[in-house]
Amino acid sequence: MTRKLLAPPPAGSDLKPIYGTGHPGVVEVLRFFRDPITMVAQRRAQFGDITYMNSFGLKFVIPLTPGGSEEIAINKKKAFANEPAWGFLIGPFFRRGIILMDFSEHRHHRRIMQEAFNPTHLKGYLQDMQPMLKDRVANLPVGDDVRMLKELKQVTLDLALEIFLGMDLPRAEADRINKAFIDCVDAGLSLIRKDIPGTKWARGLRGRKVLEDFFYEHLPAKRASVTPDLFSVLCHAKSEDGDTFTDEDVVNHMIFVLMAAHDTSTITLTTMVYYMAKHPEWQRRAREQSQGLPPDISYDTLDEFTVLDRIMKESLRLNSPVPGLPRRAIEDTEIDGHFVPKGTYVSAINLVNHHNPALWKDPEHFDPDRFSPERAEDKVHRYAWMPFGGGVHKCIGLYFAQMEIKTVMHNLLLRYEWSVPEDYVWKLDNSTLPVPKDRLPVRLRAL
Ligand code: HEM
């Protein structure tokens, strides 16, 4: 078995070394794309609590325990920075987004942005999204081959345009913006990372330009009036100290937040639809609960969707939309007592913990009741379940996501029934964010 040292710990220190296979990056990345769960299990068997992996020509240290993930997320010694890691992956397309900021600058921007996600604004977004999502879900096509990833992506994009932008864009314009976002996201994790015509990277750069032009064009109108959408809220948001965003900040944050909100919710919804098709008893349970609750969801009834809540948590566990929390060590440091030299890339990878048999009973099995108060398997460690990350960069949109996901699913359950053939098993494309390769074909029929 090959075993290659990352870097020798400093002489005299009691820090332990980190090993990896030393396989070429392309081999490691392709193996990870093909079957990340098996790869992680093999690494754990071979290297124990921590390893490193070659990818994109870099070495990424990956802790294989929830404690190691926590150390990265909490970043107690401020030894890990976001910008050099996220910047490497998505920087050209999402530059100056909040996830690319660090330390005092990040704190400054986060405090202003937090205002857009306070309960008053969240209540407003939730109320506004009810009629819109009801209408969009009612207009889904029915049939034997409805590609749910594609349909749900359209729904979440329309929601983003309406709730975040407060604009009723013509279809062609909405599609143009949607395409620009998709191009930016796809470019981030592409293997060819140069502006060569025809590549994802080149399309991503063009997409970024489309988005910037679009937001700058509409910005003066948003500054001039106060409306309940996120675009306007960010234009007028003030931290407790009275700080506000510049025009450039608003544009950069809008581009990143829309991206952060859009694909993540789509993937969660698609995963829930998949597992509820594979497990019709759970679809029935969720539908029965929805039928007993009011057709519109309000801030006060959100917590009553306990079945959907467990299905959502289990879906986020089995297929986490954001695969990990990439960072770069800006000084010599350690994870779990192992030496991490300055300059090393590190990442807490969600599926490492989400599929760890030491943390979950029968982890590959879809079992939403593991999140019931009686079983509470997620409470075994604070980072056993970490789809929204942790620490200062923890997802700012986690309540928004919950509101959107529950509203879409509630409407879907009240209107339709869906199924997949009994032997159907989806195949995920892990080369960007994890999505079904075939876009999840289901038989969707109206109730
Ligand atoms: C199920 C849906 C979602 C998932 C799984 C998710 C996951 C995550 C994760 C893991 C992070 C932390 C990344 C890191 O630390 O490196 C994050 C950050 C972030 N998310 Fe989400 N997210 C979701 C939905 C949303 C929504 C709906 C919004 C906006 C409305 C949003 C906005 C953000 C922002 C702005 C950040 C960066 C926060 C910061 O750096 O301070 N997310 N998200």
65-104: per-residue pLDDT in tens?
999 999 999 999 999 999 999 998 888 899 999 999 999 9
Percentage of the chain lying above the pLDDT 90 cut: 80
How much is the average pLDDT of 152-162?
A: 89
Whose CA is closest to atom 37 on ligand 1?
A: 99
How much is the average pLDDT of 149-157?
A: 93
Ligand 1 centroid to Cα of residue 256, in Å, is 10
pLDDT at 272 over 70: yes
Q: How far is CA 429 from the centre of its chain?
A: 15
Whose CA is closest to atom 11 on ligand 1?
A: 395
The CA-atom distances, in angstroms, between 445 and each of 109, 124, 279, 414 are 46, 32, 17, 12
Is the beta carbon of 321 within 6 A of some atom in ligand 1?
A: yes
Only one residue has tokens 């937090």, namely 114
Is the beta carbon of 112 within 6 A of some atom in ligand 1?
A: no
Q: Which of 268, 388, 403, 406 to mutate to test the pocket of ligand 1 (most atoms within 8 A of CB)?
A: 388
Give the range among 113-117, 190-194, 394-398 with minimum mean pLDDT. 190-194
The pLDDT-based confidence of 190 (bands split at 50, 70, 90) is: confident
Could you identify the atom of ligand 1 that is nearest to the CA of residue 400?
A: 27
Is the beta carbon of 270 within 6 A of some atom in ligand 1?
A: no
Ligand 1 centroid to Cα of residue 142, in Å, is 32
Structural contact between residues 302 and 127, judged by C-beta atoms closer than 8 angstroms: no
CATH superfamily of 4-446: Cytochrome P450 (1.10.630.10)
Is the beta carbon of 403 within 6 A of some atom in ligand 1?
A: no
pLDDT at 182 over 90: no
What digits encode the pLDDT tens for the residues 328-362?
Answer: 999 999 999 999 999 999 999 999 999 999 999 99
In this structure, how many other beta carbons lie within 10 angstroms of the beta carbon of residue 281? 8
In this structure, how many other beta carbons lie within 10 angstroms of the beta carbon of residue 131? 11
Whose CA is closest to atom 43 on ligand 1?
A: 395
121's CB contacts (< 8 A; 6+ apart) are 115, 228, 233
pLDDT at 56 over 80: no
The pLDDT-based confidence of 312 (bands split at 50, 70, 90) is: very high
Give the range among 20-29, 128-137, 138-147, 426-435 with minimum mean pLDDT. 20-29
Which one has a higher pLDDT value, 408 or 242?
408
Handedness of CA 151, 157, 163, 166 (dihedral sign): negative
Degrees to nearest 5, angle at CA 149 with 144 and 150: 85
Helical axes 171-188 vs 200-224, angle rounded to 10°: 130
The pLDDT-based confidence of 192 (bands split at 50, 70, 90) is: confident
- As given in the structure block, the two tokens for residue 243 are 């700080």
pLDDT at 289 over 80: yes
Cα(298)–Cα(296) distance, integer angstroms: 6
Is the beta carbon of 257 within 6 A of some atom in ligand 1?
A: yes
The pLDDT-based confidence of 431 (bands split at 50, 70, 90) is: confident
The CA-atom distances, in angstroms, between 435 and each of 41, 267, 283, 421 are 22, 7, 21, 19
Ligand 1 centroid to Cα of residue 110, in Å, is 12
Ligand 1 centroid to Cα of residue 214, in Å, is 23
Strand partners, 246: none
Q: What does residue 220 show for φ and ψ, rounded to 5 degrees?
A: -60, -40
Element (H, E) at 235: helix 230-236
Is the beta carbon of 223 within 6 A of some atom in ligand 1?
A: no
pLDDT at 131 over 80: yes
Ligand 1 centroid to Cα of residue 155, in Å, is 19
Q: Which of 122, 264, 395, 435 to mutate to test the pocket of ligand 1 (most atoms within 8 A of CB)?
A: 395
How much is the average pLDDT of 21-34?
A: 84
Query: Mean pLDDT, the chain, as a whole number?
Result: 94
HSE-CB at 187 with a 13 A cutoff on CA atoms is 30
Torsion of CA 52, 54, 58, 64, to 10 degrees: -30
Could you identify the atom of ligand 1 that is nearest to the CA of residue 392?
A: 41
Whose CA is closest to atom 41 on ligand 1?
A: 393
Could you identify the atom of ligand 1 that is nearest to the CA of residue 253?
A: 35
Q: Give the pLDDT of residue 235.
A: 95
Question: Which sequence spans correspond to the domains of the chain?
Answer: 4-446
Percentage of the chain lying above the pLDDT 70 cut: 99
81's CB contacts (< 8 A; 6+ apart) are 102, 103, 327, 328, 330
Whose CA is closest to atom 27 on ligand 1?
A: 261
Antiparallel, parallel or unpaired: β 435-436 and 345-349 = unpaired
The pLDDT-based confidence of 189 (bands split at 50, 70, 90) is: low
The pLDDT-based confidence of 2 (bands split at 50, 70, 90) is: confident
Could you identify the atom of ligand 1 that is nearest to the CA of residue 230?
A: 30
How much is the average pLDDT of 198-211?
A: 93
